[in-house]
Structure 1
Amino acid sequence: MTTIGILGAGRVGTAVARQAMKAGYDVKIATAKPAEEIRMIVDIVTPGAQAVEASEAASQELVILAVPLHKYRTVDPELLAGRTVIDVMNYWAPVDGVIADFEQADLGSSEVIQQYLAESHVVKSLNHIGYHELEEDDQPSGAQGRRALALAGDDARSKAVVAEFIDRLGYDAIDAGPLAAGRAYQPGTDIFNGSHSAEQLSALLEAALQPSHV
């Protein structure tokens, strides 16, 4: 895999784009607007990335979903059918306001996204690192104390794809388990609020995913 697609050109989407290009990926970025309308800003903010239509960004093997969460239903599920989708979005009602879709106590936000993108393979990751930190904290594979990032999903192959992507971005990838395990690093959790090595993150995940905490 040499090319990734990114849906969303906000701070998170563009930070992922720059870091991915640093790692050697070609990047195609799209928003709800026609490619021509975002080409100039893409050239300025993410030089080297290509502004494309949403259908082209969504046609890549790996797609980063980085639209504003309240606009997630503007994404056409058919475009992402069969694709591996990294959900980098977060639901944080005190900041973003209450969104009824995400007020279900028994579902994490990425599980709601997976229900909407029923034919896609959603993996929750890159949501618990600040967009600025993503470009600052990367280290080569094997570096002592390298920062780790969790991933959760229900498709083993898609998780392997995402794990390789995370490693190339400069971080250790820790498999948290099924998509439901992503609740362990949503906003407000110890994992979300800090920076952790692989050992530390594994321990936090183990504690958070004990039956009494899930």
Structure 2
Amino acid sequence: MERHERRTQVNRVTLGIIGTGMVGSAVARRATDAGLHVVLSNSRGPETLADLVAELGDRATAATPAEAASAGDLVLAAVPLAFHERLPRAELSGKTVIDPMNYALYPGFSIPELDSNELTSSELVQRHLADSRVVKALHNYGPKQMLEMFRPAGADDRTALPLHGDDATAKKEVADLLDVLGFDAVDLGTLPESWRSEPNTPLYALPYIGQPPSGLTPQEFVAWAQQATGIPVPAARIKELAAAAVRGTAGFRM
């Protein structure tokens, strides 16, 4: 009964989504299919989202990032980490913000505080969104797998996803959302500990898709991972892999 009541409450939630690339669009599809309302936004304007909103149906609307932030009970900030300072800080004040961003290293781009492991990328986001409750989630799992691997609660092959955050209530909100989307959640601690599920750790991508062919360039690996068939990963395995992680060089190299 408690789970049913919790799911009913989450189904009344409006999910604001800032960024409609592969991650934002996949979460929007899964959320509307699961019965949630979503408010979509990107940097190019609501009019550019007309086709996506039409595809998603009457549970989806388009807005500006500031409007999506204001409308969302929870907000997914699915933008490149390099643009995190463009997130609407005032409108996100007091909100739980889901951070799926990863540090990807491009030629000519680096963040010294991340390179030195002084901060994790989610701590950097939390520093910008000082009045929000940032929860790291949906960052180590592919959009294709999200749309194919969701399962009802209690299913033997239900997949678990890690989350990190400094606020217990915010983490519960995100865990409840993941449950409605069709996934279990594993709380792996605080934002300073979020490196345990970031790129270059055993929890990043591969447990859910298996080993790639040998000899792939980083770009080829990304393309392969985006099309790979999903593999169920239970909560116990998530905990094992997180415990085995060793902190090394930050960032996924492109």
TM-score (ref. length: structure 2) = 0.77
Distance 1:86 1:45, change over 3 A: same
1:6 maps to amino acid: I
Structure 1 residue corresponding to 2:82, chosen from 61, 65, 70: 70
Number of the residue aligned with 1:31: 42
Partner of 2:243: 206
Farther off after superposition, 17-26 or 187-196: 187-196
Q: Distance in 2 between matches of 1:185 and 1:97?
A: 25
Cα distance, 1:100 vs. partner? 2.0
- For 1:184, which of 185, 193, 196 is the aligned residue? 196
**Alignment of structure 1 residues 5-16 onto 2, 5 Å:** 5-16=16-27
> Offset at 1:45?
5.4
Specify the alignment match of 2:51 in structure 1.
41
Please give the residue correspondences for 1:44-55 in structure 2 after superposition, counting only pairs within 5 Å.
46-48=56-58, 49-55=60-66
Amino acid across the alignment from 2:76: I
Listed as ranges, the matches of 1:78-157 within 5 Å are: 78-93=90-105, 98-100=109-111, 102-157=114-169
Q: CA deviation at 1:199?
A: 1.0
Post-superposition shift, 1:71? 1.5
Question: 1:144 Cα shift?
Answer: 0.8
State the shift of 1:92 in Å.
Answer: 2.1
Question: Does the residue aligned with 1:133 lie in a helix, a strand or coil?
Answer: helix
Q: Distance in 2 between matches of 1:43 and 1:111?
A: 32
**Aligned-pair distance for 1:166?**
0.6
Q: Tell me, yes or no, if structure 1 residue 19 matches structure 2 residue 56.
A: no
- In structure 2, the CA distance between the partners of 1:38 and 1:104, relative to structure 1 (3 Å rule), is farther
Aligned mates of 1:130, 1:111 — CA distance in 2: 22
RMSD: 1.9
Contact map agreement 1:146 1:198 (CA 8 A) in 2: no
Is the CA contact 2:69–2:88 (under 8 Å) kept in the aligned structure 1? no
Unmatched segments (≥5 aa) in structure 1: none
Provide the rounded CA distance (Å) in 2 between the counterparts of 1:87 and 1:45: 25
Distance 2:48 2:31 in 1: 19
Q: Distance in 2 between matches of 1:45 and 1:105?
A: 41
Q: Counterpart of 1:197 in structure 2: which amino acid?
A: P
Q: For residues 200 and 126 of structure 1, do their structure 2 counterparts lie closer, same or farther at Cα, with a shift above 3 Å needed? A: same
Gaps of 5+ in 2: 1-9, 209-232, 249-254
TM-score, with length taken from structure 1: 0.90
Give the conservation status (yes or no) of the 8 Å contact 1:89–1:127. Answer: yes
Give the 3 Å change call, closer, same or farther, for CA 96–116 of structure 1 in structure 2. farther
Q: Deviations over 1:143-168 (max 9, x none)?
A: 11311100000001100000000111
- Give the Cα separation in 1 of the matches to 2:198 and 2:42: 25
How far off is 1:61 after superposition?
1.7
The one-letter amino acid of 1:130's match is G
Is the contact made by 1:42 and 1:50 (CA closer than 8 Å) also made in structure 2?
no
Aligned sequence identity (%)? 38
Counterpart residue type for residue 61 of structure 2: Q
- State the alpha-carbon separation in 1 of the partners of residues 197 and 119 from structure 2: 13
Partner of 2:217: none
Greater Rg over alpha carbons, structure: 2
Mark the CA change 1:45 to 1:67 in structure 2 (over 3 Å): closer, same or farther. Answer: farther
